[in-house]
Amino acid sequence: MRRTLKARRTLSAVAIAAGLALTVAGCGGEGGGQDKPNASSPATKDTGGDGKTQQSPAPAGDKDLAEVKGDDGIGLTVTSAVRDSGGFVTISGKVTNGSGKIWTPTSWAGDESELAGNSASMAGASLVDQTGKKKYLILRDTSGRCLCTKFVGAFQASEERTFYAQFPAPPASTKSVEFQIADMPPATIDISDGQ
């Protein structure tokens, strides 16, 4: 009888401890992982069909920070560069197809093997801190999907689309960086501090 009661108490204590551990894990804090959405990061939306999600761009600012044009007539305008307290910088803007023909930004996905599944996207973008002599690559999740715009379908002639791209934040002392992607000229932009 005593052994039975002792075994029951032990099993009850183990069950209660396991339940508490699961409750604590389910209510976990911010953590360091990038799988959890950040309140200040762009919201995700379902693109439907293939079951993949795509994040919507951050709102554009009132004044353009930089505008560059490639040799093929493709234009890139940066409208916002915001440093967030979460430790990242969100760049947003627009891409314009001024080539006069259909254009797909396949080369913009970059040549990193980890980002190979991002096809026509802003995955190949980077920020360069000339003062700190450091290059910041695009953020990505554990599946290798960039935290950036993935363009669906080709750009028609004269078509304009918005984009966003997230990077690790340079030190707070760095106020200006160069935004680079593919063969486009670098765009020098000033970073503003968010909330």
Q: Is there a single domain that holds both residue 3 and residue 88? A: no
Provide the domain limits for residue 1: 1-28
Q: Are 114 and 134 in contact (CB under 8 A)?
A: no
Q: Is there a single domain that holds both residue 70 and residue 118? A: yes
Residue where the block lists tokens 């995700």 = 44
**Comparing C-alpha atoms, which of 150, 169, 174 is closest to residue 161?**
150
Q: Are 144 and 117 in contact (CB under 8 A)?
A: yes
Is 176 contained in some domain?
A: yes
Is 40 contained in some domain?
A: no
Is 2 contained in some domain?
A: yes
Is 162 contained in some domain?
A: yes
Residue where the block lists tokens 């934040």 = 169
Q: Are 125 and 180 in contact (CB under 8 A)?
A: yes
Is 34 contained in some domain?
A: no
Q: Is there a single domain that holds both residue 99 and residue 153? A: yes
Q: Is 81 exposed, middle or buried (0-12, 13-18, 19+ CB in 10 A)?
A: buried
Total count of domains within the chain: 2
Give the pLDDT of the chain (195 residues) as one tens digit per residue. Answer: 555 545 555 545 544 544 444 443 444 444 443 333 343 444 443 333 344 434 444 444 458 999 999 988 999 999 999 999 889 999 999 999 999 999 999 889 887 777 777 888 999 999 999 988 999 999 998 888 899 999 999 999 999 999 999 999 999 899 999 999 998 999 999 999 876
